[in-house]
Amino acid sequence: MKLQQCVIDFAIILITIPSLVVVALLLDYMMNRTGWAEQLESQIIMAALAVAFFLICIMISVYLTHRVGNCLWAGPQSDQQSIYTVERGLEDSASTPPPTYETIMSEHDPPSYEKISKIFPPPEEPPPSYAATVALGRDAAAHI
């Protein structure tokens, strides 16, 4: 199956890329080297080439999105997670409320101020501000 998909992908590349190049070159030739603005037949050919170029681009983008797994005409595939399953999963988890502060802290008391001040001692002198560093002419990068 994987070999078959690789062959299909390769065939699509071999068909679409040269087709786009040929249509683009024909459009360029018609616009630059013929008097397409004065002749009705040339205008019809230009419109047909532009529509063909547009349709080839649309078909390539539809195939690529389908190949990636986002089927545009059938919606998301059932084996993949979609936005609807994610929303449904969030609704189920919303039925149970989150824990409160009391339920979490009922087992342990918060640490005392003395214990926290030993872990994080206050600075002995505040660091100089940027303006003071610039005013004193010190290296600002060393203090920031």
| Per-block mean pLDDT, blocks of 10 residues, the chain (144 long) | 80 89 90 82 89 91 79 58 52 67 75 77 71 64 52
What six digits make up the tokens of 123?
């600075």
Report helix, strand or coil for 70. strand
Buried b (16+ CB within 10 A) or exposed e, 43-66: eebbeebeebbeebeeebeeeeee
What is the gyration radius of the CA atoms in the chain, in angstroms? 34
**pLDDT at res. 71:** 63
The answer to whether position 18 is within a domain reads yes
Instruction: Look up the domain containing 14 and give its range.
Output: 1-73
The identity of residue 20, as a single letter, is L
Integer Cα distance of 48 and 54 in angstroms: 10
The answer to whether position 140 is within a domain reads no
The identity of residue 100, as a single letter, is T
The answer to whether position 21 is within a domain reads yes
From the number of C-beta atoms within 10 Å of its C-beta (0-12, 13-18, 19+), residue 23 rates as: buried
The answer to whether position 104 is within a domain reads no
**pLDDT at res. 140:** 47
**pLDDT at res. 139:** 54
**pLDDT at res. 63:** 85
The answer to whether position 55 is within a domain reads yes
The answer to whether position 57 is within a domain reads yes
What is the domain count for the chain? 1
**pLDDT at res. 51:** 93
**pLDDT at res. 107:** 74
The answer to whether position 29 is within a domain reads yes
The answer to whether position 39 is within a domain reads yes
